[in-house]
Amino acid sequence: MIDHVRDLASVREATQRLIDAAAALDNAALAEPSRLPGWTRGHVLAHVSRNADALVNVLRGLPMYKDAATREADIQRDAGRPLDVHLADLRESAGRFLAVGTEPGDWERLVELRNGVTDHAARIPFRRWVEVDLHHVDLGVGYELEDLPDEFTEREIAFLADRWSGRSDVPPVTLRSYTGGPSWTTGGTEGAPVVLEGSFADLLGWLSGRGEKGAHLGVVSGDGLPELPPL
């Protein structure tokens, strides 16, 4: 059972971590490359702010973004702003999202995100948590996949494993942790099965295309580490 109230509390904590980290930067650092190809740190922060407003739209039954071009244009427009403007935007947009998240409503209803993707409203706070915490890692300021909360990491592994399931361009893959606990299956039915084993952080890195993209995973069986398509 998804607890959207608990997830909103986690969003609040993750947002404060991000704001604290960003506040230690300066304008020159914002203009430096992030870990996302083609994006500066300013692009990452602009995206996080605009995503909060986009998810407010989702919860209110509006289109998440007007269109893809507008989404990209808004990020480009906001990327080069000074640090104090970014920080204010992060706080204010996060406040708008959290305020809508506390409104009474049917949290089991289906809502629509980008590209026709649907989900239950109760899952939107976790999706926001993902945006905040993974993009914090993308800033490249010392917050790493290994620093993510354990609950977050396991839930995001499960979410991404489900996202890649049924894909004909991904072989059947079983994911296991060195330390035991849950295992996950992903991919389609074509090709030789692969079993991968590693830390939760490395499993998440491979699934999300971050870190060293699974370079430290052990291939227990199969033809090697599969390459995932872009998210």
DSSP character at residue 27:
H
pTM equals 0.94
The per-residue pLDDT for 177 is: 92
In the predicted model, what is the mean pLDDT of residues 134-162? 96
The per-residue pLDDT for 181 is: 82
Averaged confidence pLDDT in the chain: 95
The per-residue pLDDT for 129 is: 98
The per-residue pLDDT for 131 is: 98
User: Do residues 58 and 64 lie in contact, with contact meaning Cβ atoms separated by under 8 Å?
Assistant: yes
Query: For a pLDDT cut of 70, what percent of the chain falls above it?
Result: 100
In the predicted model, what is the mean pLDDT of residues 152-170? 94
Asked if pLDDT for residue 157 goes beyond 90, the answer is yes
pLDDT tens for residues 175-222? 999 888 889 999 999 889 999 999 999 999 999 999 877 788 998 988
In the predicted model, what is the mean pLDDT of residues 12-29? 98
User: Do residues 218 and 174 lie in contact, with contact meaning Cβ atoms separated by under 8 Å?
Assistant: no
169 — alpha (psi -120 to 50), left (phi > 0) or beta? alpha
In the predicted model, what is the mean pLDDT of residues 222-227? 86
DSSP character at residue 197:
E
User: Do residues 204 and 210 lie in contact, with contact meaning Cβ atoms separated by under 8 Å?
Assistant: yes
The per-residue pLDDT for 46 is: 98
Residue 180's CB is within 10 A of a number of other CB atoms, namely 7
The per-residue pLDDT for 119 is: 96
Q: Which residues of 96-131 are buried (b: 16+ CB within 10 A; e: fewer)?
A: ebbebbeeeeebeeebebeeeeeeebbbbbbbbbbb
In the predicted model, what is the mean pLDDT of residues 30-47? 98
User: Closest Cα to residue 140, out of 206, 195, 224, 211?
Assistant: 211
- For residue 59, the SS3 value is helix
pLDDT tens for residues 42-97? 999 999 999 999 999 999 999 999 999 999 999 999 999 999 999 999 999 999 99
Enumerate residues 6+ apart whose C-beta is below 8 A from 139.
18, 21, 22, 34, 35, 41, 44, 45
The per-residue pLDDT for 193 is: 94
Q: Which helix (H) or strand (E) holds 220?
A: strand 218-221
